[in-house]
Structure 1
Amino acid sequence: MAKPWATRIRPSRASVALLALLSLSACRWIATGSPTPLHPAPSNAVQYVDACAPACTDSLDIVAMGVAGFLVVPWQDTTRLVLAPPMFTNPTVPWLVFGDLLFGTRPDTAQISKRLAAMPAANAERLGRVQAVLVGHGHYDHLIDLPPLVPRMPRARVYGSETVRNLLAPVGTLADSMRVAVDTLAALNGARTGQSIVVSPLLALRAITWAHAPNIGSITIAPGHQRTPRRTLPRTVHGWQMGTPYAWVVDVRRTPDPASAVAVRLVYHDAAADADVQRRAAEVIATLPAAHATVVIITAANFDQANAYPDVLLAHLEPQHVLLGHWDDFFRSSDKAERVVRGTNAEALVRRITPFIGHRWSAARAGTVTRVRW
């Protein structure tokens, strides 16, 4: 762990509640399990999802990068890529209980470099081509490692809530114009479908208002908003406020022609949400041009804390493939044997999604490439 920041300790009610809950070692929220039921694909392997009729002519790579991080690479134009932020700094449970409040938590830059070096599919050249960073919400497990990654992505705009924009204000290498709040652009339901964000002639984005299931019991950690730009980055994990969560649609066209059909639609979110939120998101997607193939990235963490998740979304979208994100235990050093994120029953998750998707799902380790061919 990098050296802590020195500052005065100001414990919040959420901090005290988290400390008390995490101290209960027998609690289900502390328990972790084997990833075997998820059959994670090997690191740096390529797994194929074919939607070819009659033959494959193009493809899209989705590179898993750890926790809820993914790099989207359309092979027809690899000059403008899309990233969902990864996390490599994994504060352990003991650190969160005893160290974070006392000393604070900073990005582990050595670990970030080490993990990136082990992922050829997310190499420095590709990161330099990232045009858009999509942030679902502002919690530390999605944002804490983004500031040290920003210099590696000089062309990237970061899209997220007002809270995300304000949390990242101290990042000197990220100009104001490169931090985009999507609150006024986001879709809400079938009647309020939001605005398209054009990344390239082949790529278009759309934010959809989403939600975040409770983290522990009925408690959602750091549920607030950052209403004004921060002068310094948050000192503790609790300073990374959630803000308004968003899901994202990434549409990849067949050709640069604006009238071209959508070849692959990627639907991404980084938190579980209840049935009504899923239904409204499905309404928005139903108003968009039809896609030849749809891939949905769902969240394993806290999946059973939201009503009928991800049932409603999968039933409406009927995707060709589902990728499991946020399944790896980010309270554990990546140098240790992998485990499933705390409080998650992997077997129950598989039972939940199978009626909707059958065997058309996969979990990817960091570095794994899911190649969607059409």
Structure 2
Amino acid sequence: MKRVRLNVFCCSVIAGLLAGCATSVDNLAINYHADLVAQQVNEQSLLSGDKKLNIQYLGVGGYLFQYGEDSIMTAPSFTNPGLINVTLPLSIEPDTDLVDKLLPAHAKQAEFILVGHAHYDHLMDVPYIMQQHMPEATAVGSTTMTNIVTAVIDDARLLDITEHAADGQQPGRWIYNRNNTIRFMPIKSDHAPHFMGIKVMSGKYEDALTELPSTAYGWKEGQTYAYVIDFLDIQQQPIYRIHYQDAASNSPDGLMPVMADSKVNSKAVDMAILCVAAFHQVDDYPEAILQQTQPRTIVLGHWEDFFDNNSFDNNSVDNQNKPVKGVRMTNIDDFIQRVEVVKTDDATTVLPAPFSWIQAY
């Protein structure tokens, strides 16, 4: 009974705190690089035989990485339930019509879907996408993730990365795609509290579910992971390295282990993909990640308001006239200023609009 009362109290507090307006982003430089332009660039590079890496932001923690003819994706979130449905909690489920509309056609060839944690805004759309659009893709994530998704997806298409993950300075194990052109290593990380030091929707599933959760609180966090993603040359040496997070974390959680690559002492990080949401609830974020990785490109993700925010259309060449607001209770400008203080002088910072493309350099 006490736990029920506490959950009701937490829901009420969260609803009250989040019910205010989303954060204005009118003063921020948002990247609206159009889908069509990036696709033309990628097609030209394939015709010339020169493999390029193009990255499309899908919103929240979702990214599509296209590398020549191969691709990999982090868990996309297109269904954005309203605030009341999430906090009370009421029933939520994937908006399958919206997923059908917004999932880019070129995403369907991705071999893996990397899941950082199992909250609804990262995982809820994934089972439907795997069933209807990506019948050969493998979902990668925590034990909790696999125990949720196994309710509707065969275990052969789920990879529990618990034994593969780096932990502190102990390196993990690389996982390769079928063509040995992409590899990734999970890193044990954590998820920032949501407000006032309180983390909601935490917990884990030790046993397999027989049906998918029906409320936001059923999509438990599980163990959170960051990822190092490498794109490889024909000698299977890393030529482009990305450090990816879909949740802000307290240092040293999420930091890269010391890694030595064959034929080279260590491959530098070219791009760090960060999480803006709830960054102020943890210490030394994003400073610790950026000071360690010193990337040339810094991408700020999970920055937009994701409650009832389905206004973007990936079929539009120009999304600049589409309304977009920032995630609630978060000072995005402060995050950007903190990035500017610690980034290297030649590093570029990108705040991508949903469905915009990010050129890798």
Q: Please tell me the TM-score bracket, short chain as reference.
A: 0.7 to 0.9
Aligned residue among 243, 247, 251 for 1:271: 247
2:283 aligned with 1:307: yes
Q: Shift of residue 343 of structure 1?
A: 1.0
Q: Tell me if the contact between 1:132 and 1:156 (Cα under 8 Å) persists in the aligned partners.
A: yes
Structure 2 vs 1, CA of residues 326 and 178 (structure 1 numbering), >3 Å: closer, same or farther?
same
SS at match of 2:121: helix
Question: Match for 2:123: what amino acid?
Answer: L
Measure, in 1, the Cα distance between the counterparts of 2:98 and 2:108.
Answer: 19
Which residue number corresponds to residue 351 of structure 1?
337
CA contact (8 A) 1:22 1:93 kept: no
Match of 2:143 in 1: 162
CA positional deviation for 1:294? 1.2
Give unmatched runs, 5+ long, in structure 1: 1-10, 49-55, 117-121
Amino acid at match of 2:358: T
- Please state whether the residue corresponding to 2:76 is helix, strand or coil: coil
Partner of 2:122: 142
Which residue does 1:109 correspond to in 2? Answer: 96
Aligned amino acid, residue 187 of structure 1 = A
Q: Map Cα deviations across residues 79-138 of structure 1 (whole Å, 9 max, x no partner).
A: x3211111111112233345x43xx1011111212323xxxxx31xx2331111100011
* Pairing of 1:162-311 with structure 2 (within 5 A): 162-171=143-152, 174-190=153-169, 192-199=170-177, 200-255=179-234, 257-258=235-236, 260=237, 262-278=238-254, 281-282=255-256, 284-288=257-261, 290-291=266-267, 294-311=270-287
CA distance in structure 1 between the partners assigned to 2:96 and 2:18 by the alignment: 31
How far did residue 229 of structure 1 move? 0.5
Once residues 292 and 343 of structure 1 are traced to their aligned partners in structure 2, the CA distance between those partners, rounded to angstroms, is 34
The amino acid of 1:354's aligned partner reads: E
Aligned ranges 1:85-100 → 2 under 5 Å: 85-98=75-88, 100=89
SS in 2 for 1:291: coil
Is contact 1:59-1:371 (8 Å) kept? no
d(CA) in 2 for partners of 1:41 and 1:287?
34
**Offset at residue 31 of structure 1 (A):** 4.6
TM-score by length of 2: 0.86
Unaligned 5+ runs, structure 2: 42-48, 312-321
Contact map agreement 1:14 1:221 (CA 8 A) in 2 = no
The change in CA–CA distance for 1:148 and 1:285 in structure 2 (over 3 A counts) is farther
Q: What amino acid does structure 2 have at the position aligned with 1:196?
A: W
1:232 positional shift? 0.3
Letter in 2 for 1:127: A
Deviations 1:283-317 (A, max 9, x none): x1544553365111000100111100010110111
Counterpart in 1 of 2:314?
none
Paired residues of 1:31 and 1:343 also in contact (CA < 8 A):
no
| Rounded Cα–Cα distance in structure 2 between residues aligned with 1:133 and 1:23 | 31
Shift, 1:182, TM fit: 0.5
1:17–1:39 distance in 2 versus 1, CA, 3 Å: farther
Post-superposition offset of 1:368 = 1.0
Point out 4+ residue stretches in structure 1 off by more than 6 angstroms: none
Instruction: Tell me the secondary structure at the aligned position of residue 360 of structure 2.
Output: strand
Secondary structure at 1:36 match in 2: coil
Q: How many residues align?
A: 332
Cα pair distance change 1:306/1:30, threshold 3 Å: farther
Deviation readout 1:176-204 (Å, 9 max, x if unpaired): 111110101111022x2111101132111
8 Å contact kept, 2:19–2:83 = no
Letter in 2 for 1:21: V
2:294 corresponds to: 318
Question: Counterpart of 2:65?
Answer: 72
User: Which of 342, 348, 353 is matched with 1:360 structurally?
Assistant: 348
- Aligned-residue offset at 1:30: 4.1
Structure 1's 354 and 63: CA in aligned 2 closer, same or farther, altered over 3 A? same
Counterpart code for 2:101 = K
Contact 2:146 2:160 in 1 (8 A): yes
Secondary structure at 1:62's aligned position in 2?
A: strand
Q: Distance in 1 between matches of 2:303 and 2:164?
A: 30
Superposed displacement of residue 333, structure 1: 2.5
> SS where residue 276 of structure 1 aligns?
coil
Output the amino acid matched with 2:230: D
Query: For 2:306 and 2:155, how far apart are their aligned partners in 1?
Result: 30
**Identity fraction in percent:** 27
